[in-house]
Amino acid sequence: MKDTYTYQIGDNLYLNLTNRCSNRCTFCVRDERSTYEGYPLWLKGGEPSAETVTAEIGDPTRYREIVFCGFGEPTYRLDALKQIADYVHARGGRTRLNTNGHGSLINGRNIAPELRGRIDGVNISLNAPTAEAYAALCRPQREGAFAAMLEFARALKAEGVCCWFSVVDCIGEAAISQCRAVAAEVGIPLRVREMIE
Ligand code: SF4
């Protein structure tokens, strides 16, 4: 079966650029066998080129948003992401990035300026209010991941890129309340979303 590079849910088209991720979240659905909304998202044949993905997108205005999401962390594919985002914008489409916020850590530089003008909204999975709780829930594979995520959010805000934190509702009211305080300190909104079973 052909790998799934793009998949539609509702009015949005989602892009699946990589299996790689710098977290091992306890609630993650990412593995070789599972599917998401009926789509098998594990890339068995390798990561797609930007050209392959843009050919699948076609006219981006057919969708409300083109969303960089998928099983893995899209910022591992920063060059392809930028190329695809430019394609979408050149044809009048809108872009969103769903990310764990490790993009600058992964790429070894502040990538926020490279996202300005390319990504219309960045959804950063905060997931937990402290580095300790984050380590237990998201099991980051890199040192300083929680602090790097907060710094990424601050850098996006400084660049004027629309961004917000998200948490899954399973973490409980007390943790959600603490996350609201973290978001307020950074100066961006917090959105609470349902856990994917
Ligand atoms: S950040 Fe997302 S893709 Fe990565 S392990 Fe967590 S839930 Fe899975």
**Ligand 1 atom, smallest distance to 30 CA:** 8
Q: How far is the CA of 135 from the centre of ligand 1 (A)?
A: 13
Give the atom of ligand 1 at the shortest distance from the alpha carbon of 100: 1
CB count within 10 Å of CB 121 equals 15
In this predicted model, which residue has the larger pLDDT, 169 or 148? Answer: 148
> Is it true that domain 6-193 has CATH number 3.40.50.1370?
no
Question: What lines the ligand 1 site, CB under 6 Å?
Answer: 21, 23-25, 28, 30, 71-73, 100, 125, 138
CB count in 10 Å sphere of residue 172 = 10
CA 107 to chain centre: 15
Q: What number does the ligand 1 atom closest to the CA of 24 have?
A: 5
Question: What is the pLDDT, as a whole number, of residue 121?
Answer: 98
Model pLDDT for residues 89-99, shown as the tens digit of each residue: 999 999 999 99
Q: Cα(73) to centroid of ligand 1, in Å?
A: 7
Summarize pLDDT for 100-139 with one digit per residue, the tens. 999 999 999 999 999 999 999 999 999 999 999 999 999 9
Q: What is the pLDDT of residue 168?
A: 86
Query: 77 pLDDT band (50/70/90 cuts)?
Result: very high
For ligand 1, the distance from its centroid to the CA atom of residue 102, given in whole angstroms, is: 11
What is the reported pLDDT for 194?
78
Does residue 6 carry a pLDDT above 80?
yes
Name the residue of 27, 73, 99, 137 to mutate for ligand 1: max ligand atoms within 8 A of Cβ: 73
Q: Which of 67, 100, 127, 167 to mutate to test the pocket of ligand 1 (most atoms within 8 A of CB)?
A: 100
Dist. CA 74–CA 99, nearest whole Å? 7
Model confidence pLDDT, tens digit, residues 18-67: 999 999 998 887 777 777 888 888 999 999 999 999 999 999 999 999 99
Mean predicted confidence (pLDDT) in 61-90: 96
* The predicted structure's pLDDT at residue 196: 57
Cα separation, 82 vs 133, whole angstroms: 32
